[in-house]
Amino acid sequence: MGIAVAADPQLVLLRHGETAWSASGQHTGLSDIPLTAAGEDQARQAAAALAAFDFAAVYTSPRERARRTAAIVGHPDAVVDADLAEWDYGPVEGRTSKELSGLIGHDFEIFTDGVRFLPPDPERSGGSPGELLEEVRARADAVVARVSPTLEAGGSVLVVAHGHLLRVLATAWLGADPRLGARLELGTAAVCLLGVGHGLRTIQGWNLLPTA
C-alpha cells in the first residue's frame, strides 16, 4: 500500500510497530520495550507506504520502539522530542485493560478513568503517579506548535510515536476535546494524515495500515 502525497503539506503520524506488550495489550508508557520481529516487518511495510514523501522534518519519541521504527522507515536521524513520549501510565503500566476493568469494577477506558485511580507503585513507572489527560494534551499542543512553522512554510512533517499520544495529538491538531481520542483507534505501524481543508485543520486519513 503506497500513500499518495497531497499537494498541500501534511502532518503525518506513524505509530511504532508491534512490541510484545502491544501484542498482549499491556499499557506501555515509560517501559522501553523493543519491537518484535513482526513489528520490524510492520515498520518496513510502513516505509514502503511512505516512500513517496519528502519530509521537511521528522520527529520521534525517545522510546526505543519509536526510534527503531523511525530508523526503519528511513529516518535514523529523526529529532528526538520528549513531548512525543507515550502517556506516563504510572500504576497502570504493564497492566491490561481486562485486568484494570476488574480492579475498577467497570470497563476501563483510559480517556475517562485516567490512571490515578490506583496508588503509585514503585514497581511500575518508578513509582510515578502517572499523567493526567490534560498533561498529555499539553505536550501534544507543544508538538503542534513546534511543527506548525514547517507546515506553514510548505513542508510536510513526520512524527513517530505511540498510540495514545498520537490520538491525543490528533485532538490537539483539531482543537477538540482530548477525550475524542477514545474514538480514534490506532493500530501498530498505522499511518495517519492531518492537514488543512477549507481553512480548517482536518483528518485526511486515519489508521491506514500498511500491507506487504
The span from the CA of 81 to the CA of 83, in Å, is 5
Of 74, 42, 25, the closest CA to residue 190 belongs to 42
The span from the CA of 202 to the CA of 196, in Å, is 5
The span from the CA of 64 to the CA of 69, in Å, is 8
- 11 - beta bridge partners? 157, 194
Clarify whether 164 is annotated catalytic: no
Clarify whether 16 is annotated catalytic: yes
**Phi then psi for 55, rounded to 5 degrees?**
-75, 135
Out of 18, 75, 86, 164, the active site residue is: 86
First CA to last CA distance, the chain: 7
Of 186, 21, 30, the closest CA to residue 95 belongs to 21
Out of 16, 27, 162, 164, the active site residue is: 16
For residue 36, CA distances in Å to 39, 60, 65, 71 come to 5, 19, 9, 15
Active site residues: 16, 86
